[in-house]
Amino acid sequence: MKKYLSNDFDLSDYANVSDECSIWSAPFGLKLLDYIDYKQNISALDIGFGTGFPLTEIALRLGESSTVFGIDPWSDAIARARKKIEYYRISNIKIFEGVAESIPLKDNSVDLIVSNNGINNVSDINQVISECSRIIKSGGQFVQTMNLDKSMFEFYGQLEKVLSDLGMNPEIELMKQHIYQKRRPIDEIISIIQSHGFIIKDLEHDQFNYKFSNGSAMLNHYFIRLAFMDSWIKILPEKKLEQIFDTIEMQLNDQAKTLGGIKLTIPFVIINAIKK
């Protein structure tokens, strides 16, 4: 009997592996999945798959005739991805624990490269795109998503105002540098991609809103603390930290009273490119 005709997945084990991706990753990911040309018998690579997204989803959607490689340096996340791969019974994934600045695949060997919010997190974007250009076949598809430099402008606007009121201009510069390091302007990204022999077929802008009841709820949210707080703290002097964040929290809370909550806008792009 065909194996898909029976649902023999253990629901108690499913609790350990459910959630293909985080709420943060989902808006980017759904768009990325839409742009992929799903074909049979191809070789694909996911850069920065974290706990398995979109690696597992793509492997399943392409089917067993294709092979999907994934590369990421984060070993704890890889361990969780492996659990999902085992539970979903996926046999066409090969994982490399490492960085995309050096991809252990042959020249002209893959048909599809994807990265959901991965390439904007690497240390050397130019080197990663150069590696993508080396391993992808002519006519191959390269789809990636990333959030843009205006991400959370509502928060950064408040931070800049507070720093300006305190006469902390060097810290304002550090804040701008931090945004530049984390979220390079889209024109720069595009020119890097084009300089490595890709043609941009589609560039779609989108955004989602990260909404909270007020500033206190936002600043205490686990993902804000885990993914962003350290980098904000790094650019500020320790002795002024409490004062700065007290003021920001108060101002965001005041805004929330008038506006009925606060929101952080997350603008992002989907870049769909083809190798010449």
Ligand X SMILES: C[S@@+](CC[C@H](N)C(=O)[O-])C[C@H]1O[C@@H](n2cnc3c(N)ncnc32)[C@H](O)[C@@H]1O
Q: How many Cβ atoms are within 10 Å of 76's Cβ, its own excluded?
A: 9
| Shortest reach from residue 55's CB to ligand X, in Å | 8
| Shortest reach from residue 58's CB to ligand X, in Å | 11
Residue type, 183: R
What x/- string results for residues 85 through 124 when contact with ligand X is judged by CB under 6 A?
--------------xxx--------------xxx--xxx-
Determine which residue in the list 33, 77, 174, 274 makes contact with ligand X, applying CB under 6 A.
Answer: 77
Degrees (nearest 5) of the Cα angle 108, 113, 118? 135
143 forms part of the interface with ligand X (CB under 6 A):
no
Of 21-29, 171-179, 193-201, 242-250: span binding ligand X (CB under 6 A): 21-29
Q: Which is nearer to ligand X, 74 or 87 (CB)?
A: 74
Determine which residue in the list 35, 39, 60, 74 makes contact with ligand X, applying CB under 6 A.
Answer: 74
Q: State in Å, rounded, how far the first CA of the chain is from the last one.
A: 44
Q: Which residues contact 211 (CB under 8 A, 6 or more apart)?
A: 261, 262, 263, 264
| Shortest reach from residue 53's CB to ligand X, in Å | 4
CA nearest 82: which of 73, 99, 94?
Answer: 94
Q: Which residues contact 118 (CB under 8 A, 6 or more apart)?
A: 46, 47, 48, 49, 50, 72, 100, 144
Determine which residue in the list 17, 27, 29, 84 makes contact with ligand X, applying CB under 6 A.
Answer: 29
Q: Which residues contact 246 (CB under 8 A, 6 or more apart)?
A: none
Q: Which is nearer to ligand X, 72 or 111 (CB)?
A: 72
71 forms part of the interface with ligand X (CB under 6 A):
yes
| Per-residue DSSP letter, 119 | G
Which positions lie near ligand X, rule CB under 6 A? 21-22, 25, 29, 47-50, 53, 71-74, 77, 99-101, 116-118, 121-123
